Amino acid sequence: MKRRRRNRLRERPFPPEWLRIIARNFPLYARLPAADQRELLGDIQVFLAEKHFEGCGGLEITDEIRVTIAAQACLLLLHRETDDYPRLDSILVYPSAYVAKSIELYPGGVVGEGLSARLGEAWATGAVVLSWDDVRQGAADIHDGHNVVLHEFAHQLDQESGAAEGLPVLERRSMYVAWARVLGAAYEQLRSDVARGRPTVLDSYGAKNPAEFFAVATECFFEKPVELARHHPALYEELREFYRQDPVTYFAGRHGSGGGESPRD
């Protein structure tokens, strides 16, 4: 029943005004192969039919907000056998960076509480929280390696395995050994580079823990794929196999028809 309903949603004509929003706000779409563009539009139809959006801090939810977020979130689903973020029910959107309570565990078992400004969060209880200003900025610049939607929805994929630990559900059991070896080594390298002040392709925030490393690596994979493939070829290959996409080709030429908790948790 769910499959048939989703297939009907994917076959609906895509609203022209939604396509204009994508073309204006998500330039990476124009770089996708035409077949991937069609698949993405179908996934967006399903996503918007199934997920609830709620404005926070006085923000009124519009089609521009819904479609811009959905297009980026659905990029992570292309070519993959998934259940379209089954643990996710709601997307909460603030006008800009917002303040939330933070809890930090310090050495010696000391727990500290405070307030911190955030751009987004991925909750294990069925919600993603986003700053609309940062959603737009992340979508508009497809070369900086920073995209809050890709980051938080990578956390959603990670949490499908039961806990956010940098180990999402993989297609085959045989993939887990290579995943742990390659991502574990890249994570330790990033931690070492950050500790020594060495420049890195991956955002230093990924050194916080394996869950953040996976989310940061996902951002880099889609927005700085050439650099990631050059400096971390094994990591790039693991992500290419997982996402079943090769973003290096997106930046080699124009294929399309043209048509956890912290500031980045």
The structural domains of the chain, with segments of one domain joined by +, span: 2-252
pLDDT digits (tens, 9 = 90+) for 118-152: 677 777 778 899 999 999 999 999 999 999 999 99
Contact 160, 87 (CB under 8 A): yes
User: Which CATH code for domain 2-252?
Assistant: 3.40.390.10
Mean pLDDT of 16-28: 98
The whole-angstrom distance between residue 250's C-alpha and the CA centroid of its chain comes to: 17
Helix or strand holding residue 102 (H, E): strand 98-106
pLDDT digits (tens, 9 = 90+) for 169-205: 998 999 999 999 999 999 999 999 999 999 999 999 9
Question: Can you give the pTM of this predicted structure?
Answer: 0.88
What is the rounded CA–CA span in Å between residue 235 and residue 257?
Answer: 30
